[in-house]
Chain A
Amino acid sequence: MTVASIPKTQLLNIENLAVEFRTRSGIVKALDQVSFSVAAGETVGLVGESGSGKSVLSLAILGILDAAAQITAGTIAFEGDNLLTMPRSQLRAKRGTGIAMIFQNPRVALNPIRRIGQQLRDVLIAHGGLTKAQCQTRALELLTQVRIPDPHQRINAYPYELSGGMCQRVMIALALAGRPKVLIADEPTTGLDVTTQAAVMELIRDLGREGQMGTILITHDLDLAAQYCDRILVMHAGHIVETAPTRLILTQPRHPYTAKLLAATPDPHKRLDELTPIAGHLPDLRGTLPPCRFQSRCDRAIPDCDRAPLKRQAIAPDHTVACWHPLPLSSGVES
C-alpha cells in the first residue's frame, strides 16, 4: 500500500516496520513486518508479554529510539506524511502536537527537580504561540482537565510531592498540552493501585473521546485492553500475530499465542489453578529466526510451519492472523 492511498480517517499508518538493535552480542531484530493503522477516535490495544517489542514500537513512532536502534525497513505515516523521511526539526514539531505519549512509571518519567507547572509551560512554549500569562492559564486548564484537585496549589508542586496517580495525571496533562491527534499510552497504569488504575484509564478513554484522538494503549494486561479498546493487536517477539476487534479476540482467538495469552489471563470467574502459563520464553531475537517466531513455544507446530514468507492474512472481516495453521473457529470460544 502506498502512503498516498490511505483513507483520510486513518491518522497513523505503519507499514512493514522493522527495527534492529546493534548490541555487543549481535543484531537484535526487535520489530519485523509490523503494520497497522489507527483512526481518529479509536482506541487500539497493543498487547503482548514483556519484551515483545511494544515499547520499541511506540518509541519508533515518536522517533526517539535509542542510538543503538535502527529502523531498517518500512514507513510510519502520520496524516499521510512519512515521519521517517521528514527533516528532524519538522519531526520534532510533530512530537507533542501530532503524536504524544504517556509513559509508565510516571514518578521517574517526570523531571524530579522541576515544578510541574514549569514542565507544562516548557511543553506549551515549545509548541509556541502563547504568552507567559496564557501559558499559566493553559497549564491550569490542563491540570483541571486531567481532574487534579486544587490545580492552583499543585501547579507549584514537585513530582515527589505528588502521589503516583497524580503524577500520571500530570503526565497526561503534559501529553495533552500540544493537543495531539494520536495518544500513545505505554502501560499507563503500571505501579498504580487498582482504583487509581481505573480512574486513570477512564480519564484516558474520556479524553480520547472528547478530542477524537486515536489512542494506542500498550499493555501486557489483556484484561485491561479488553475493557478499554475497540481493537486489539497481539504482539509476540516483534511480530504482530493477530488483530481483531476486541470481542472477536476474546471469543474467537485464531492464533495459538492469543489463545494461550487468554488462558493465562486471570479473571474473576477463573480459579488460580485454571490459569495456564505459556510454556517457554520469548525466542532469542538474534541471528536467523524462523518465519513464525512462536514456533518453539507452540504445541501445534509442525514442520510445515517453516514455510516462508509468513504474512498476516485476513481470515475474516477485520480479523487478521499470522499463522499457517490458525486455530479452528470453534476452539477458544468460551461459554
Chain B
Amino acid sequence: MAQQSKLRFIIQRLLAAIPSIIGVVVVTFILTRALPGDPAVFFAGPSATQEAIDQVRASLGLDQSLPIQFLRYIQDLLKGDFGESITTGQTVLYDLTTRLPASLELTIAALIFALAIALPLGIVAALYPNSKWDHLIRFLMTAGVSLPTFFTGLFLLYVFYYRLNIAPAPTGRLDLLTSPPDRITGLFLIDSLVTGDFEVFIQAFCQLVMPAITLGIFALAPVARVTRASMLAVLSSDYIRTARSHGLAPLKILWSYAFRNALLSILTTMGVVFSFLLGSNVLVEKVFAWPGIGSYAVEALISSDYAAVQGFVLTMALLYIVLNLSIDIIYGMIDPRAGQ
C-alpha cells in the first residue's frame, strides 16, 4: 500500500511538471526573440549588404511571423531537434550533451565538498550555540561567501599551481595530452572507473579538485547556516527531550533523532543551493577553462545565438524540474508524512 502511494506520488509530481515545461518552452521562445540585437545582421558580418542580411535571415527562418516561428520551433523540439548553434556550427543537442556533464560533474563535486564541510560544522555550531566554536564557524562561513568565486579561483591557482606547483594547470577536465574516457555518462570520474582507466580517473579527479573547491566554498555558508538553524530547532523539540528522558545514548539521539529530522529542511536548501551553483558555474568555468554549459550559454547570449540560448534555458529548466522531483522523492523517503 505504501509502495503504491509512493508511486502515485511520483507520477503526480511528474504530471504536475508538464505545465511548467510548456511554460518554459513558451517563455524561452519569447524571451530570446525579445533580446536586443539582430542575429541576421550579426552573422552576415559587418560589411554585408542588405540582401546578404535578408538571405541569412531567411535561412534562419527569422523572416517568418512569430507564431509560425514558434510552431516550427515546437515541431523541431518534438523531433528532439534543438537547432544548430551558429557560433559553434554544431547541433545544440550535441553541444549540450558534451558540455552539460562537465557542469554537472563540477557542481556535484562542489556540493559534496560543501556538504562534507558545512554539515559537521553546522552540527557543532548547533550543539554549542554562541560558543567560541559557533562564532569561529560563522566567521569562516561568512568569509567564504563574501569572496567572489573568480577571486577564490584565481587565488587558489596562484597559491597551489603557480607558487607551490602541487595543483595541475587549469586546462579544463583533463590535461592537454590525455584523451577523455569512453563516453557512458559523460561524467569523467564515473566513465573512467567503469572502463577501468584509473590513470584518467586520477587525472580527472585532480583537475576537478580546485574548481570544485572554488565553487563549493560559495555554498558553505547557506548549508552550514541551515544545518545550524534546523539542528537548533530540532534539538529543543519535545521529542528530543523525550529521547533524553529515556536514557538513549547521545550519539543515537544526535543521529537517529535530531539529524534525520533536521535533514528535512537541509534537503530543501540543498536543492536551492544546487540549482544556484549550477547557474553560477560560469565564472569558475572561465577561470579553470572548464568546458561547461555556463560559458557556452554566455557566449551564445552575446552573439544572439537563439537556438543555443533556447537550448540552454530549456535544459536548465528541465534540470530544475528533475532536481525538484528527486528532492521531493528523497523527502518522501525520509518523512513518511510527505505526500499524504
Contact = CB atoms under 8 A, between A and B. Distances in A.
B239 A126 contact: no
B90 interface: no
Interface stretch (B12-20, B252-260, B320-328): B252-260
A205 to B, nearest CB: 21
A112 B238 contact: no
A64 B243 CA distance: 10
Nearest to B241: A64
Given A111-B257, A113-B336, A126-B252, A97 B245 contact: no
Contact of A123 (B241, B246, B334, B335): B246
A254 B118 CA distance: 60
A103 B245 CA distance: 10
Contacts of B336: 113, 158, 160
A235 B276 CA distance: 55
B248 A123 contact: yes
A178 B248 CA distance: 11
B246 A178 contact: yes
Nearest to B244: A64
A113 B261 contact: yes
Nearest to B242: A109
A178 B257 contact: no
B247 A122 contact: no
Contact of B245 (A96, A108, A111, A113): A96
A59 B337 CA distance: 30
A94 interface: yes
Interface in A75-121: 92-97, 100-101, 103, 105, 108-114
Interface string B296-316: 000000000000000000000
A54 B165 CA distance: 66
A97 B247 contact: yes
A313 B239 CA distance: 39
B242 A110 contact: yes
Contacts of B264: 113
Q: How large is the interface on A (under 10, 10 to 19, 20 to 34, 35 or more residues)?
A: 20 to 34
Contacts, number: 80
18 contacts: A64-B245, A93-B247, A95-B247, A96-B247, A103-B241, A105-B238, A108-B237, A108-B239, A109-B242, A110-B239, A111-B257, A112-B261, A112-B335, A113-B337, A122-B248, A122-B252, A122-B256, A171-B242
Given A111-B257, A126-B252, A95 B246 contact: yes
B231 to A, nearest CB: 14
A96 B237 contact: no
A174 interface: yes
Chain B interface, >50% SS class: helix
A127 interface: yes
A228 to B, nearest CB: 21
Interface of A: 59, 62, 64, 92-97, 100-101, 103, 105, 108-114, 122-123, 126-127, 158, 160, 171, 174-175, 177-178
Contacts of A108: 237-239
Contact of A114 (B246, B249, B257): B257
A139 to B, nearest CB: 13
A105 B237 CA distance: 12
B315 to A, nearest CB: 34
A174 B252 contact: no
Nearest to A66: B236
B238 A95 contact: no
B337 A100 contact: no
A261 B243 CA distance: 34
A174 B241 contact: no
A105 B248 CA distance: 20
A79 B336 CA distance: 42
Nearest to A93: B247
Given A126-B252, A158-B337, A160-B337, A111 B247 contact: no
Interface in B51-84: none
A97 B246 CA distance: 8
A215 B243 CA distance: 20
B252 A62 contact: no
A108 B245 CA distance: 15
Contacts of A96: 245-247
Contacts of A158: 336-337
A305 to B, nearest CB: 37
Contacts of B237: 108
A242 B174 CA distance: 81
Contacts of A171: 242
Q: What are the nearest 7 A-B pairs in CB distance?
A: A95-B247, A96-B247, A109-B238, A96-B246, A111-B239, A101-B245, A108-B238
Nearest to A122: B248
Given A95-B247, A109-B241, 12 more contacts: A62-B244, A64-B244, A92-B249, A103-B241, A108-B238, A109-B242, A111-B261, A113-B261, A113-B334, A114-B256, A123-B246, A126-B249
B256 to A, nearest CB: 7
A113 B247 contact: no
B130 to A, nearest CB: 10
A174 B248 CA distance: 12
Contacts of A160: 336-337
